[in-house]
Chains A and B, each alone.
Chain A
Amino acid sequence: MTQTAVNPLVRMQEDLQRAMQKPLERRSWAMVIDTRKCIGCFACSVACVAENVSPPGVTYRTVLDIEIGRYPGVQRILKPMNCQQCENPPCVPAANEVAPGSMERRPDGIVVINYERARGREVFEAVRRACPYRLAVFFDDGRFHTDGTPARQAYEQRPALEYGRNWSRTQDQPPVNTVRKCHFCLHRLEAKMLPACVTTCIGGAMYFGDLNDPNSLVSQMLKEQRDKVMRVNESRGTKPRVYYLTDTPVLCKSHHP
């Protein structure tokens, strides 16, 4: 009747498992965000921070909350933001110019950072200047959430798997003093799990999958809802791999910072 037979998360996990059986270069990851179902709750943001053990100021995923109109004809645009995983990422050459080998775009579409090389504020500044998106890249300045309290807590220093390696923020070692951003939870994909922001979304607004697979949920959604699709700053030619669904693509675009 009114319910889907299976939750989209279950369906997308099956899509994911299918994709992971293919060689890396035959996968093409994309994220679809249905802004009509986003309620601006920040579940995705907190899931991301907890998953990646991000320090203060490093929030791979945030949510914009923009009010437009005059009382009582007011509207609220809620829009999740993270690295857009561009097909033509301006950040990669910019970063590599300062620190060779610090960033690359993988064949599956994920723009990755080499934590051993993307060190220092200079690299971060280069990336930030090159990136046409706000709130996409961050610098890990070595702080902890529980600094300034009676004791720094161990959970902030637990090993967190990013880029296939366990990192612990204990000393001035990566990822401290390093450029950081969303990587579509690459380590979870390897474990056949969807990105943390997708599984935790209480609005059911987050979708993820392989665009090379016409049967994946994301492929079907983008096809069926063609007229609702928007990408941010499309005119810049970056070709983001994050797609937004909205009933008002023009309005949504005009209010993107």
Chain B
Amino acid sequence: MTETERITRRSFLKTTALLGGSALLMSRLDWAREVASRAQRGALTHAEQYQLSQPQNILYSVCQQCNGQCGIRVKLLDGMAVKIDGNPYSPWNLVPHLDYKTPLASVATLDAPLCPRGQSGVQTLYDPYRITKVLKRAGKRGENKWITIPFEQAVDEIVNGGKLFAHVPGEENRVVEGLKDVYAVRDPKLMREMGDLVRTILAEKDVAKKRALVAQFKEKFKEHLDKMIDPDHPDLGPKNNQILYFWGRQKAGRGDFAHRFFGGGLGTVNRHGHTTVCQGSLYFAGKSMTDQWDGKGWSGGSKMYWMADTASAEFVIFVGASPFEGNYTPTNRTPRITEGLQKGRLKIAVIDPRYSKTASKAWKWLPNRPGTEGAIALGLIRWVIENRRFDVKYLSNANRAAALADKEPTWTNACWLVKIENNKPTRFLRASEIGLSEKELFVTLKDGQPVAFDPNDDKNAAEGDLFIDTTIRGIRVKSALQILWESASSKTLAEWARISGLSPRDLEELAREFTSHGKRAAVDLHRGVSQHTNGYYNVLAWFSLALLIGNYDWRGGQSWPSTYDILGSRADGPFNFGKLNPGALSPFGVSLIRHEVKFEETTLFEGKYPARRNWYPLASDIYQEIIPSAGDAYPYPIKIAFMYMASPVYALPAGHTWIPILQDVNKIPLLIASDIVVGETSMYADYIFPDVTYLERWEFSGTHPSVTFKVQGVRQPVVAPLTGTVKVYGEEMALQWEALLLALAEKLGLPNFGPNGLGPGQPFTHPDHFYLRMVANVAFGERADGSDAVPDASDEEIKLFLEARKHLPKSVFDPERWQAIVGEKLWRKVVTVLNRGGRFQSYAEAYAPTDTQLRVRYGRQINLYLEKTAEIKHSGTAETLPGYAVYLPTPTDYRGRLIEDEKNGFDLQLITHREILQTKSRTSGNYWLTEFMPENLVLMNSQDAQRLGLKSGDRVKIVSATNPEGVWDLGNGVKVPMAGAVQITEGIRPGVISFALGWGHWAYGAMDVVIDGNLIKKDERRGRGFHGNAAMRVDPFLKNTCLIDAVGGSAVFYDTRVKVIKL
């Protein structure tokens, strides 16, 4: 291929991509025809024969087809991505993965495994429905009528506002506030001072004093009260908080970019992720369990949880989790499991109402009644304690020093004393309360004698008795383990079995097996445990069970993740982003979703319960609360909302409740979406900015607890962007999310962007300025002396690096610009990392054959008893929360009332499952996947089918108490029936029906769209199958969102009763 031909093709690509409207699309047929004709003439060179084995045609990056973040290598034919395989350097893809130093050229012919979704990424990239120009609404929200407008115009309109939709009937006179109007407080010093005083207000417990502090605020900042949402409630924060940013799939790097813009730049606290739609209560129970004692209170818990080290385990209980179909992630976990099963090293049990592919390989499949996962755990805990099959030595350790002495990486508070008041466990006993010490110390009993200790003391080991129920100086106390035992023994094993719909014998065998492998047994939990109204406590119960065998940080036990730092804070360099943020604002105030704050601390609390909506002191990123809270203007209204890579209407349970709010221009006056196609939620936006796909951009993919190596995957552009380019700060860059944020920052003059955005003389005018520095941090490592750095790339690898990127335009890849950003010293190290798609700890280092413990460790205290939780009042019931594992019947509403739709004829419980051939909202355009599974079916047991007179293939509709019509009401008079075909199976518990998430789309190419007057016809294939989320129960008190776990924040997927109606 000559250089001229190459350039011609590139300009062709550019032209087609820049066209809007009906030429949405990228097509390179001319080129394909040309190569084909040369092929037929026999004019192809030898090297062209199998180009996919040539190292210069392969680029390494990270997948984003689900959130697994597996390594990939993308094979290119003259700039076009044609095939994607697994990255043999990545521990996700190969067991054991290649040594990091293995020369790049030598692995060109070694493809590593990758799941089918990962391989179909080519079709996400070259999706014929991709948008390449900015779309502006030309009809009512959701009507799907659009015009294309120049990027610069869109940026100007969003900043300045005005009568932006005068062309839409009914909106002729609607004046929209722009960012310049809502970006109210701009002075970092002023915002910091306001925030300090507001924190004092929140911390003040006395009502009168709180009122006085509010008055003080109004006096002190009287010049600036116009900048507040409500001067009488300064704790709601400044108007800046009326800018809302929420996201779906966002990872590090890109996330840091957005937080820098919306947080440090625009000063809003309202930056919320989607965690609770996935497995929120799993993360937030984990956060509570990992809170550490800081001398004053419990803080610093990690929004994280543990998984099983499947590579070394002898027994794993998968609860509501299917690693062969999801669960972070099949590519990574499957080979470790199948190898273990086949060699006889590993045995697994699967608790899941549906017979998953994982269950099909299990020693035991336990199809439980959904929502009773906590009851099962408590049954097992009861048996383990009763039969004294727990790790006494581990549980007796009360602090760090005791753990160190036993060479245990972690310790618990199992033997700590908890005060019992009115028969309820409350706070831990403090040594000062019994005159044992004046310091803030905790207490246990050793051989009946009180012992005071500091949990973080690494010198003086404290151990305690495990089962304590006594009175000390008139104070009734119990040990944390005693409290757990009482909760578990509140029912017999037979009763726990009856509740969960399993046999006592199965539970006993499960408990015996779990305690027969020392520390090489583990529990592995996911959505089936957390997405219930009792999710938080289900998770706590299962992780409490694991604490009984003390398997945390042990090989074959519970594993914890670790990543290389991209922000340069651990080694203070080479680029410490904490210090590269000039003029950044410090946002403050209660967030729209009322997270990490207690209702009672705010000025909105008037001594009455329930609150208008739930407060979430223990959770964050509560997805189902974002737009519904804005709909209720509680605690305040929103003015401008940005959404990134999100489709909550499709993804959330009862996601249809968002539609009328999103459509209401008074409730959400300005709605901006970043998307790659017109999706189920972005179709309601005012503007859609075309983004690039994961194969055209940067991101840092992090890790998951299932990965027992220290890692940092680096996602990087592997093809030229299909969206064309724009000019921002005078620099050419791809039209993508970052370009929008940079352009808005330019127009608003944000100090932490622009020519001095990273410090004096340090420009932040191109995404490369940000991301290349992060790569450099990863390459440098975490030791200030540089001894943790990766090796320099050889001359040969530098050459390959350049050659493999020849097809990328200068706006994306410019070796001189890149090298100037990171500096000569780090350049070759950066190349090493980019050549391998990230940095990965070597297999040998993480799994030395003699190791009994994992190298990547959690290594701190794990709370069996949660003091912080026990001090919180549920804002819907006014009841104090239990601080230990309990079983709570489901489903309940926000007021704690049991919902019993089954009494009204809703005879089946609806759950969902995952098939590996789709990822929730974003793979319906992957035709290689739909080739093998064109649609999903409603799974039903033959017993139910017989009762209802149904046979496989019958078309049915699903109705529920809150969706009696069984439809998706899309607004504007459009209704889509919630109907699909039923599949009769023996692989599901009778009384339960299930459907796989990912099918049944109505947008994302499955709906006609008009752009610039041109009709873009839908593709029927993309709308096949069934999506039943709109049947999921709406909370009867909240009315505009699904059922919730009020403690852990989860959106509830699995507690709805439905009826199936034959069509």
> Which residues of A are in contact with B by a Cβ distance under 8 Å?
1-7, 9-10, 13, 34, 36-37, 39-43, 45-47, 49-51, 56, 59, 62-63, 67, 69-72, 74-76, 78, 145-146, 148-155, 157-159, 161, 164-168, 170, 173, 187-188, 190-194, 196, 199-205
Contacts and interface: CB of A to CB of B under 8 A. Distances in A.
A155 B342 contact: no
A72 B367 contact: yes
A27 B357 CA distance: 36
The CB with the most chain A CB atoms within 10 A, among B29, B365, B931, is that of B931
Interface stretch (B113-121, B403-411, B565-573, B764-772): B113-121
Nearest to A34: B342
Given A155-B82, A191-B50, A49 B931 contact: yes
Contacts of A50: 82-84, 119-120, 122, 928
A2 B312 contact: yes
Given A155-B81, A204-B339, 12 more contacts: A4-B96, A7-B95, A39-B361, A40-B324, A47-B119, A74-B986, A150-B24, A151-B27, A170-B36, A192-B53, A192-B109, A199-B110
Given A67-B986, A76-B987, A145-B927, A7 B94 contact: yes
B27 A154 contact: yes
Query: What range describes how many residues of B lie at the interface?
Result: 35 or more
B724 to A, nearest CB: 16
Given A37-B342, A200-B85, A157 B36 contact: yes
A187 B48 CA distance: 12
Contact of A3 (B27, B50, B96): B96
Contacts of A145: 123, 927-928, 931
A49 B928 contact: yes
A51 B83 contact: yes
Interface in B90-147: 94-96, 109-116, 119-120, 122-123, 126, 128-129
Contacts of B1021: 148
Given A2-B340, A148-B1021, A191-B53, A199 B128 contact: no
Contact of B338 (A3, A39, A70): A39
Interface stretch (B157-165, B173-181, B327-335, B1048-1056): B327-335
A78 B357 contact: yes
A128 to B, nearest CB: 19
Contacts of A165: 39
A161 B49 contact: yes
A53 to B, nearest CB: 8
Contact of A150 (B25, B365, B929, B989): B25
B41 to A, nearest CB: 11
B113 A148 contact: no
A164 B44 CA distance: 12
Contacts of B110: 9-10, 13, 199
Nearest to A58: B931
A201 B335 CA distance: 9
A49 to B, nearest CB: 5
19 contacts: A1-B849, A2-B311, A41-B116, A43-B116, A46-B120, A47-B119, A71-B986, A145-B927, A145-B928, A150-B24, A157-B33, A158-B82, A159-B44, A166-B35, A170-B29, A191-B53, A196-B111, A200-B114, A202-B335
A157 B29 contact: yes
B25 A151 contact: yes
B32 A39 contact: no
B22 interface: yes
A193 B334 contact: no
Given A150-B128, A168-B39, A201 B986 contact: no
Given A191-B50, A202-B331, A56 B129 contact: no
Interface string B69-91: 00000000100111111100000
Nearest to B70: A202
Q: Closest 4 A-B residue pairs measured CB to CB?
A: A168-B36, A154-B28, A76-B360, A145-B927
A22 to B, nearest CB: 19
Nearest to B111: A199
Contacts of A10: 110
A152 B96 CA distance: 40
Contacts of A167: 39
Contacts of A40: 324, 357
Contacts of B112: 9, 199
Contacts of B357: 39-41, 76, 78
Contacts of B843: 3
Contacts of B116: 41-43, 45-47
Scoring A67, A69, A168 by chain B CB atoms within 10 A of each residue's CB, the highest score goes to A168
Contacts of B1020: 148
Contacts of A205: 338
A17 to B, nearest CB: 9
Contact of B335 (A45, A159, A204): A204
A13 B916 contact: no
Interface in B927-958: 927-929, 931-933, 941-943
Interface in B463-485: none
A201 B33 CA distance: 33
Contacts, number: 253
Contact of B128 (A63, A78, A153, A187): A153
Contacts of B933: 42
Interface string B999-1028: 000000100000000001101110000000
B917 interface: yes
A39 B362 CA distance: 12
Contacts of B49: 161, 164, 166, 187
Nearest to A40: B357
B1014 to A, nearest CB: 10
A3 B943 contact: no
Nearest to B25: A151
Nearest to A204: B335
Question: By CB atoms of chain A within 10 A, which of B25, B325, B928, B989 has the most?
Answer: B928
A42 B917 contact: yes
A152 B27 CA distance: 7
Contacts of A161: 49-50
A25 to B, nearest CB: 23
Contacts of A46: 116, 119-120, 928-929, 932
A201 B82 CA distance: 19
B562 interface: no
B496 interface: no
Contacts of A168: 32-33, 35-36, 39
B29 A154 contact: yes
Contacts of A67: 985-987
Nearest to A194: B111
Nearest to A187: B50
Given A59-B931, A74-B986, A149 B129 contact: yes
A43 B121 CA distance: 13
Contacts of A41: 115-116, 324-325, 330, 334, 357, 916
A103 B932 CA distance: 28
Contacts of A153: 26-27, 126, 128
B45 to A, nearest CB: 11
A42 B27 contact: no
A36 B338 CA distance: 8
Contact of A39 (B330, B931, B941, B987): B330
Interface string B653-667: 000000000000000
Contact of A71 (B26, B81, B343, B941): B941
A47 B331 CA distance: 14
B321 to A, nearest CB: 14
A202 B83 contact: no
Contacts of B817: none
Contacts of A3: 95-96, 311, 339, 843, 847
Of listed B39, B86, B123, B1020, residue having the most chain A CB within 10 A: B39
B82 A204 contact: no
B874 to A, nearest CB: 37
Nearest to B313: A2
Contact of A202 (B26, B330, B361): B330
